[in-house]
Chain A
Amino acid sequence: MKDLVTGLISLIEILQFPLGIVITPLILRHKEYTRWVWVAGAAAGGALAYLGHTAAPIGGIFLLMVVWFYLLNPFSLLQNRKAVLGIVILTMFIVVAVFADQIAPYDPQQMGTGAPHGPPTWEDQRGNMHIFGTGRTGKDIFSQTVVGARTSLAVGFGAGTIIITLCIIIGITAGYVGGFVDEALSLFTNIFLIIPGLPLIIVVAGWVSRPGPTTIVLVLSFTSWAWGARVLRSQTLVLRNSEFVAAARVSGESTWRIVLFEILPNMTSLVVSSWIGAVVFVILTEATLAYIGLGNPSATSWGGTLYWARNDQALITHAWWTFVPPGACIALVGLSLTLINYGIDEITNPRLRTEGAKAK
């Protein structure tokens, strides 16, 4: 059984990139720019393969693009200042994550690149540059931060996307179909809502033989979808009674088409803000898990850096540079996502707009 799960996880890892390439055009197939999305995705994937990463971040970013182009008008987003600021910050991090290997001057796990707990300096005794200083074993903090970005963002986007997919499938089905199916799915949702997430994550993470980032992604996804599902279900209940849904039924639309193409597009801001909320939650939780020592200690991540900082008595030794950079990065990513969320809210709900007065 354990092997089955482990095997499944490996399979998912391998399939992420191709799945993303295949699913996206299916959903976007009626749009004029589908071909461009194909090309962009393939190019990005190829570039990343060339640079030697796993394709995990690609899955998440691909689906991000799907969400963006399908549900929103991407160009209106760029006119909103908050959203632009958020996008700029996030893009910076994404670029750093993608080109981490090129940017990081040292191997993040290599010990002894500099003096133990060396402060940030342009040039230390050996002539090496350590912008963020070094940890107790001499590992370069800057490299750790840069490479850690990749893990955190990949886990964040990946898990966030899986969570939102589960929320959509379960929440909207329960809301639209109603009756017994709704009761059953709601019961299922409530069970997962009650189960305490962190202990469950810890138990499952301990049980699976290789607690790598993908495991964390899957574990987080399957334990944190319940809240979003409830929210989407309520909104679906409201939309189900609208006249355009009745009109679609009278026209002869099938149920799944009504759910996907009539109801879902009207829940844009809710879905996207749930998605962003999920991503933020996952990034923080992943950092937490690594901080309390549940991640793979030899994997590089922001949480891992914080773990070592605590382990090495950073506060007592006044080595602030060992925990400030990763902490600040987590905060900045969260901030950027929240800004984008505000921007989307303002676009889809005109009443929230603060830019320009609204007519009566």
Chain B
Amino acid sequence: MTTASLQESQPAPEKAKNHWPLLSVRNLEVEYHIRRGIVKAVDMVSFEIAKNEVFGLAGESGCGKSTIAHSVTRILKPPAYITGGEIVFNGIDILKMRDEQLRGFRWEHLSIVFQSAMNALNPVLSVGAQIIDAIQAHKPMNKRAARERAKELLRTVGIDVKRIDSYPHQLSGGMRQRAVIAIALALNPEMIIMDEPTTALDVVVQKQIIREIQELQQAFGFSIMFITHDLSLLVEISDRIGIMYAGELVEMAPAQTIFGNPQHPYTFRLMNSFPMISGARQELFGIAGSPPDLISPPPGCRFHPRCESAEPICRETVPRLRQIGENHQAACHLLKKEGDYGQK
């Protein structure tokens, strides 16, 4: 357990579009209870997503981003437990909901596109049947209406309506991904969580899908929580980005700020790990070491063993997210307010 952790008061809510946070996550804590010990997978994470906003959640494997997605949709299963914090969607406390309420809530207000969605499709059901399944599970309607809705959705995502009875293996990778997005859109949710939706796709198909997601988002006005490890992709499509490391949110700012002026040492080094396709060629180094064991994470700042600028305070006290600039928050002791760390 950490020695002294400063309970910083939460920063004032982001002045995002429309000023009203659609999703508000405060001090979320999630633990996995395994034989070896307790894994603190998410530690005091707070962020907000406004209406019509694309929020990117970036981080490497094991940082907790998928866990957050599963927590928000309440699909965590033991040995994972939400042990603290609150999640409020449109004024409704999600953590207090019971199963029947959740069923009505899910898909109509909040839906999710899973990682490796192509494999999440049932190989023995046609895509039409799966869309209809999703509709009937959350907001039952008569069969004809459901089928009409399915056709409409396929048209929306750009799949030929004649393929409503095709099986997943008859569709290409890109089309399967679009089918999964169609399922997520079925009940016109206010927010869609997308967990690595394009990771398994080739770069050209990825670009097409991303483009289509952007168009859909403009047309229907839903918010997106976009989770991926590909930071360059996130910078292209997100309004705001949150960077996660070892279960903590270490930096949060608009996309261009993260790209142009990363303040947290991890973000800075991470940006420095992506080779650029244009611009000057530079020496890149990546980050030495590996992510910490979350059963016994390093004391104080979890990144300090790999940080070149670590100071004694970093070993003792856990830094919490705080304002360091307009629209810019980071969790690092070395940053003064209106930060001045790091040269590019």
A–B contact via C-beta, under 8 angstroms: yes
Interface residues in chain A, defined as those with a beta carbon under 8 Å from any beta carbon in chain B = 356-360
Provide the residues of chain B in CB contact with A356, threshold 8 Å. Answer: 34-35
Provide the residues of chain A in CB contact with B78, threshold 8 Å. Answer: 357
A360 to B39, CA, bound (A): 10
User: Which residue in chain B gives the minimum CB-CB distance to A353?
Assistant: B35
Interface residues in chain B, defined as those with a beta carbon under 8 Å from any beta carbon in chain A = 32-36, 39, 78-80
Nearest CB on B from A4, distance (A): 56
User: DSSP majority for the A interface?
Assistant: loop
A356 to B32, CA, bound (A): 13
A359 to B79, CA, bound (A): 7
Nearest CB on B from A77, distance (A): 18
User: Which residue in chain B gives the minimum CB-CB distance to A356?
Assistant: B35
User: Which residue in chain B gives the minimum CB-CB distance to A359?
Assistant: B34
User: Which residue in chain A gives the minimum CB-CB distance to B36?
Assistant: A359
| Contact indicator B32/A360 (Cβ below 8 Å) | yes
Most B Cβ at <10 Å: residue of A356, A357, A359 = A359
Provide the residues of chain A in CB contact with B36, threshold 8 Å. Answer: 359
A360 to B33, CA, bound (A): 10
| Contact indicator A357/B35 (Cβ below 8 Å) | yes
User: Could you give 19 example pairs across A and B, Cβ below 8 Å?
Assistant: A356-B34, A356-B35, A357-B33, A357-B34, A357-B35, A357-B78, A357-B79, A358-B34, A358-B35, A358-B79, A359-B32, A359-B34, A359-B35, A359-B36, A359-B39, A359-B79, A360-B32, A360-B79, A360-B80
A360 to B35, CA, bound (A): 12
Report, nearest first, the 9 A-B pairs whose CB atoms are least far apart. Answer: A359-B34, A356-B35, A357-B79, A359-B32, A360-B32, A357-B34, A360-B80, A357-B33, A357-B35
Provide the residues of chain B in CB contact with A359, threshold 8 Å. Answer: 32, 34-36, 39, 79
Provide the residues of chain A in CB contact with B80, threshold 8 Å. Answer: 360
User: DSSP majority for the B interface?
Assistant: strand
A356 to B36, CA, bound (A): 9
Provide the residues of chain B in CB contact with A357, threshold 8 Å. Answer: 33-35, 78-79
A358 to B33, CA, bound (A): 8
Nearest CB on A from B176, distance (A): 24
Most B Cβ at <10 Å: residue of A357, A358, A360 = A360
User: Which residue in chain A gives the minimum CB-CB distance to B41?
Assistant: A360
A193 to B35, CA, bound (A): 45
User: Which residue in chain A gives the minimum CB-CB distance to B70?
Assistant: A360
Provide the residues of chain A in CB contact with B33, threshold 8 Å. Answer: 357
A359 to B80, CA, bound (A): 8
Nearest CB on A from B116, distance (A): 15
User: Which residue in chain B gives the minimum CB-CB distance to A355?
Assistant: B35
User: Which residue in chain A gives the minimum CB-CB distance to B33?
Assistant: A357
User: Which residue in chain A gives the minimum CB-CB distance to B66?
Assistant: A360
A358 to B79, CA, bound (A): 7
A360 to B32, CA, bound (A): 8
User: Which residue in chain B gives the minimum CB-CB distance to A357?
Assistant: B79
A358 to B78, CA, bound (A): 9
A11 to B34, CA, bound (A): 55
Nearest CB on A from B70, distance (A): 10
Provide the residues of chain A in CB contact with B32, threshold 8 Å. Answer: 359-360
Provide the residues of chain A in CB contact with B79, threshold 8 Å. Answer: 357-360
Provide the residues of chain A in CB contact with B39, threshold 8 Å. Answer: 359
A116 to B97, CA, bound (A): 76
Nearest CB on B from A349, distance (A): 16
User: Which residue in chain B gives the minimum CB-CB distance to A358?
Assistant: B34
Nearest CB on B from A354, distance (A): 12
A253 to B39, CA, bound (A): 41
Q: Besides the contacts A357-B79, A359-B32, what 9 more A-B pairs have beta carbons closer than 8 Å?
A: A356-B34, A356-B35, A357-B34, A357-B35, A358-B34, A359-B34, A359-B39, A360-B79, A360-B80
Nearest CB on A from B199, distance (A): 18
Nearest CB on A from B182, distance (A): 28
Nearest CB on A from B63, distance (A): 14
Provide the residues of chain B in CB contact with A360, threshold 8 Å. Answer: 32, 79-80
Nearest CB on A from B65, distance (A): 13
Provide the residues of chain B in CB contact with A358, threshold 8 Å. Answer: 34-35, 79
A360 to B80, CA, bound (A): 8
Nearest CB on B from A161, distance (A): 35
Nearest CB on B from A281, distance (A): 35
A357 to B38, CA, bound (A): 11
A357 to B33, CA, bound (A): 8
Nearest CB on A from B67, distance (A): 8
Provide the residues of chain A in CB contact with B34, threshold 8 Å. Answer: 356-359
User: Which residue in chain A gives the minimum CB-CB distance to B76?
Assistant: A360
User: Which residue in chain A gives the minimum CB-CB distance to B39?
Assistant: A359
Nearest CB on A from B80, distance (A): 6
A356 to B80, CA, bound (A): 14
Nearest CB on A from B195, distance (A): 14
Nearest CB on B from A67, distance (A): 27
Provide the residues of chain A in CB contact with B35, threshold 8 Å. Answer: 356-359
A356 to B78, CA, bound (A): 12
Nearest CB on A from B60, distance (A): 16
Nearest CB on B from A76, distance (A): 13
A356 to B79, CA, bound (A): 10
Nearest CB on B from A322, distance (A): 50
User: Which residue in chain A gives the minimum CB-CB distance to B37?
Assistant: A359
A360 to B79, CA, bound (A): 8
Nearest CB on A from B24, distance (A): 26
User: Which residue in chain A gives the minimum CB-CB distance to B35?
Assistant: A356
Nearest CB on A from B138, distance (A): 26
A357 to B78, CA, bound (A): 9
A359 to B36, CA, bound (A): 9
A358 to B77, CA, bound (A): 12
